[in-house]
């Protein structure tokens, strides 16, 4: 399933590059398509390098906060605290869609 999605996304990117060249009335060359793919790859790589460290920091912070809350809830036998610790983790992962 994931391979199909990757192929469809790649097809969309290539189609976008071809459409841009077609609108400009330029000849479509395979080297230009490859160059366009490399430019797109560079943009995505830059975004990932800037975003992933932020997500990692928030993940560590959420874990540091939620585990003690859940453990305290289990130790004091208060389900509300245990649920709060679990909820903090779930909300983080839902927010960042990891």
What are the tens digits of pLDDT across the range 2-34?
667 777 888 888 888 888 877 777 777 778 888
Closest of 87, 89, 85 to residue 76, by C-alpha: 85
**Alpha-carbon torsion (13, 18, 21, 24), positive or negative:** negative
Instruction: Confirm whether pTM is higher than 0.75.
Output: no
Split at pLDDT 50, 70, 90, the class of 98 is low
Q: What number is the average pLDDT over the span 72-96?
A: 78
Confidence (pLDDT) at 2: 62
What are the tens digits of pLDDT across the range 52-65?
777 777 777 777 77
């Amino acid at each position: 399933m994931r391979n199909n999605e990757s192929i469809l996304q790649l097809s969309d990117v290539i189609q976008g590059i071809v459409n841009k060249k077609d609108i400009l009335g330029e000849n479509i060359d395979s080297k230009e398509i490859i160059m366009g793919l490399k430019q797109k790859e560079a943009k995505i790589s830059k975004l990932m390098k800037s975003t992933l460290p932020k997500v990692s920091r928030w993940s560590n912070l959420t874990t540091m906060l939620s585990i003690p809350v859940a453990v305290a809830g289990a130790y004091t036998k208060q389900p509300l605290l245990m649920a709060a610790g679990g909820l903090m983790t779930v909300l983080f992962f839902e927010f960042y869609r990891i």
